[in-house]
Amino acid sequence: MKNHYSLVIIGAGPAGMSAAVEAANHGIDVALLDEQEVPGGQIYRAMESIPPERAKLLGSEYLHGEKLVTELRNASIDYFPGTQVWSLNEKLEIGLLHHDKTAMISADQVILANGAIERPVPFPGWTLPGVMNAGAGQILLKSHGIVPKDGVVLAGSGPLLLLLAWQYHHAGVKIKALLDLTPMQNHLRALPHLPRALLAGHYLSKGMAYKKDLKQAGIGTLHNVSNLVARGQSKLDTISFKHSGQIHSIETDLLLIHFGVIPHTQLSRAAGCQHQWNPSQQCWTPGLNKWGSSSINRILIAGDGAGIGGARTAEHAGRLAAFQALYKLGKITRTERKQLARKDRKWMREERHIRPFLEAFFHIPEKLLKVPDDNTLVCRCEEVTAGEIRSAVHAGHSDSNQVKFLTRCGMGPCQGRQCAEAVSHIIADANGDNKPQELYRGRAPVTPLTLGQLASLFPEEQE
Amino acid sequence: MKTDVLIIGGGLMGFSTALQLAQRGVKSVVVDKDSAGRHASGVNAGGLRQLNRHPAEIPLSVAAAEIWHDIKSLVDKNCDAKFPGQIRIAENEEDLQTLGQRAELVRNLGFQHEEMISREELYKLAPSLVSHCKGALICRNDGYARPFHALEAFRQKALSLGVKYLPSTRIDAIEHDSKGWRLSSAKGEFRAPVIVNCAGAWAGQVASTLGEPVPVKPGAPMLMITERLPHFIDPVFGAASRKLSFKQMQNGTLLIGGAHMAELNFQQHKTTMNWAKLAVSARTVLALFPQLKDVRIVRTWAGIEAFMPDNLPVISRSKNYSDAFHAFGFSAHGFQLSPVVGIIISQLILDDHTNFNIDPFSINRFDSF
């Protein structure tokens, strides 16, 4: 690893891979850092090693990634898998951990392509062992073919829920229930966006096909579900929920939940990039120009980390960011940048047809985001409840950082990854604001770093 | 808005002053351009340290220690204060000599709080300390508190006694006329016969407005905190010849400081960690506690503080105005002094004098500036 590169790309999903290939093909020195051991990101996980049977189950959207992975392998890129980036700052210094070796490198341009995380939504019992994110369930399926053997309840809102139910069903998993927490009003909310969505009708018809398939197998979706509660002493044994005015309960030792995905902004926040509230996606997204440049000039952001757009959009955005980096590095002219970007821009527009519809259809009820029950744990690291956060607000602490200072929420090892969003909603609600509070200030290290690893940096530096 | 005393800066010094004034029946308003304790007061290491203070600060610090030991009677909360002692380790004969001289100096000034301890006692207090240490200087009734909790306790107590607090209220202009002070902000105008400058790293701007510029410089000392560990050590550790402040907090996390500075963009209130210096900090900790090498760092940060060239604060009546006062420039060791600073400033305002010798902290010492 050199200690300086013209371009450092963080994340080897669709955005990072396409950016890296494009930049390398223009002859600049590129480092690609990724925490996984193989390229593909979350969406194209384990692409090179997956058995054909399982790949078929994952479908054509998954297989699309094969070409990108092959291109990446053939391009001249300093690719560092197994690398955690624990710090990025406005000087474009990148603190990383590569197979247990600590380093700090710098770059002329950085493309952040670190994707999305599942939206954490605290509800009573969400911290019990046995309650997991649907995304984690899908990772086990993709990487290792592991499926739950005693059946599963799936609950939440979002296309992944349906997809995973379908994949599990075809892998022989018993689906005990599929609970859709999306309120009925969302159908009305989404209706105006339907005509445009029909332009990308293949996404819609795929969703309908999954649903029909499941229904034929006797797995119906319960819609308009609310009051989801997970119960158990030391681990999950029962869930309960409200449907058609009645409380139901189901025995299960596994509940997979999903409330959509949001940009993973820990690094962009730690670097100090500006972010803004996106009401349609109900999350904070970095403020970017049309080339992906953030408020910190030389940091570009592409893919779901810039706002949720899906894998195909990410691939195009990755290339646009690469063109921008090449332009800034003096490798291509302004006119070349425009010409090169033309196709990606067109495809991106087409990909985006479906988004407003999806965002409206799977709009998470505000009530759920505000964690109505005072006893629900919000910060699982420091065990802070929604009620404690509301008390802090009532004592006059009106922003996320002050509430964090007072209650310790967000101060644990996950650095607020699990609670930042919920805390910002709770505070805004208690303040009577309709826009959520800004998230906690980002603080390095955003991924674990030991004292020994830090101590190995800059050995020549003296007190 | 009219009040008796207008205090600029909602940190510990501001609220401590407001609290003392309120207890003597004097109304005050605390204004802050940000939120309470946003900078030095809320995010410092929370050290309650008399150990190794400048001789001029010792009487204040010893008086402050007494208050901290019974802080609940002042602010109704204990501020998570603990008193397991603070220690400065000697790693060689030279260190031993330096620390021995220090202990003697303190005794000669008539104070008893600092004393040398033997190697045996040191290892009884810190069994996991690396084996080469020779002895230490200790202050047994020193300790630490949780800074934001302390700030919050002072603030709540002050509010309960009628103090008004206005966050997000930046003072844009300060004028003095026959009727006293007039301060303006985007939130409105304030009139008060007396003002107090507790504006921390921004206090230099207030002093300049009063026509008495001081060489105060903002700085941002870096801190880091680790994951929780099983309890293994009680006292707060420093070392005679290393930059270190090291303690295990009540919840098991380790708080590591060492007065290494972050890069600071003062205009934007923005700090950038200096990883080379934090690496030195980590090496220092591991040199003394090598078994901690696999402990995970959870977070690093740096709060903005006011530093003076002589590292002594300004606690003083204004040079140019008899009805303006200063308390700032604590140079990263003001937390412990805060209860006493409130007493001193309130005495200067109400009694025209204080029993503490504050000559070394006078704003007039910068005459040549």
My answer on whether A427 and A328 are in the same domain is no
Is residue B367 scored above 80 in pLDDT? Answer: no
Interface test with A, best of B253, B263, B275 (most A CBs within 10 A): B275
> What are the chain A neighbours of B292 within 8 Å (beta carbons)?
451
Sign of the CA dihedral running A395, A399, A401, A403: positive
Residue A193, domain member (yes or no): yes
Q: Is A439 inside a domain boundary?
A: no
Is residue A184 located within the same domain as residue A273? no
Instruction: Give the residue numbers spanning the domain of A189.
Output: 131-259
Q: Give domain status of residue A346, yes or no.
A: no
Predicted confidence at residue A58, as pLDDT, reads 82
- Taking only the tens place, the pLDDT of each residue in A294-347 is 999 999 999 999 999 999 999 999 999 999 999 999 999 999 999 999 999 999
Phi, psi torsion values for B281, nearest 5 degrees:
-60, -45
Same domain, residue pair A184 and A278: no
> Which residues of chain A make contact with B275, given a CB cutoff of 8 A?
87, 93, 95, 104, 454, 457-458
Q: Are A374 and A328 in the same domain? A: no
* Same structural domain, A385 and A324: no
DSSP-derived letter for residue A100 is T
Same domain, A34 and A109: yes
Residues of A in CB contact (< 8 Å) with B are 87, 89-91, 93, 95, 104, 272, 395-399, 402, 405-406, 411-413, 415, 443-445, 448-452, 454-458, 461-463
Q: Which residues of A touch B276 (CB under 8 A)?
A: 457-458, 461
Residue A309 is part of a domain; what is its CATH number?
3.50.50.60
Chain A contact for B149 (CB, 8 A cutoff):
yes
Q: Do A463 and B297 touch (CB under 8 A)?
A: no
The residues facing B70 across adjacent strands are none
| Nearest alpha-carbon partner for B62 in B103, B11, B17, B114 | B114
Task: Classify residue B324 as exposed, middle or buried by CB count within 10 Å of its CB (0-12, 13-18, 19+).
Answer: buried
Flag whether A44 is in a domain.
yes
Residues of B in contact with A399 (CB under 8 A): 35
Q: Using one digit for the tens of pLDDT, what is the confidence trace for A202-223? A: 888 888 889 899 999 999 899 9
The whole-model pTM stands at: 0.94
Chain B CA closest to residue A270: B272
A90 contacts B148? CB cut-off 8 A:
no
Residue A205 sits in the same domain as residue A267: no
Provide the CB-side half-sphere exposure for B269 (13 A, CA).
9
DSSP calls for A171-227 = TT--EEEEEE---THHHHHHGGGHHHHHTTHHHHHHHHHHHHHHHHTT-PEEPS-EE
Residue A114 shares a structural domain with residue A141: no
pLDDT digits (tens, 9 = 90+) for A66-93: 999 999 999 999 999 999 999 999 999 9
Task: Find out if CATH 3.50.50.60 is the number for domain B5-64+147-216+309-366.
Answer: yes
Q: Are residues A266 and A250 in the same domain?
A: no
Kindly tell me if the per-residue pLDDT of B297 is higher than 90.
Answer: yes
Q: Is residue A81 part of a domain?
A: yes
Please name the amino acid found at residue B105. Answer: L
Structure tokens that stand for A355 in this block: 């988004």
Is the pLDDT at A180 greater than 90? The verdict is yes
The reply to whether A23 and A104 lie within a common domain is: yes
Q: Delimit the CATH 3.30.9.10 region(s) of chain B.
A: 86-140+221-302
Please report, as a single letter, which amino acid is at residue B342.
G
Q: Across-strand partners of A156?
A: A180, A258
Note whether A186 and A198 are same-domain residues.
yes
Q: Which two tokens stand for residue A22?
A: 């494009």
Provide the pLDDT for residue A402.
Answer: 92
Helix axes B12-23, B338-350, angle to 10 degrees: 50
Residue A435, pLDDT > 70, answer yes
Which domain CATH number covers A380? 1.10.10.1100
Distance between CA atoms of residues A422 and A262, nearest Å: 13
Fold designation for B86-140+221-302: D-Amino Acid Oxidase; Chain A, domain 2 (3.30.9)
Tokens encoding A327: 């332009």
Instruction: Pick the closest to residue A312 from A61, A101, A47 (CA basis).
Output: A61
Q: Look at residue A100 and tell me if it is in a domain.
A: yes
Q: What is the mean pLDDT of chain B?
A: 96
ipTM: 0.94
Check B295 against A449: CB less than 8 A apart.
Answer: no
The answer to whether residue A242 scores a pLDDT higher than 90 is yes
Average pLDDT over residues A108-122: 97
Q: Are the C-beta atoms of A446 and A266 separated by less than 8 Å?
A: yes
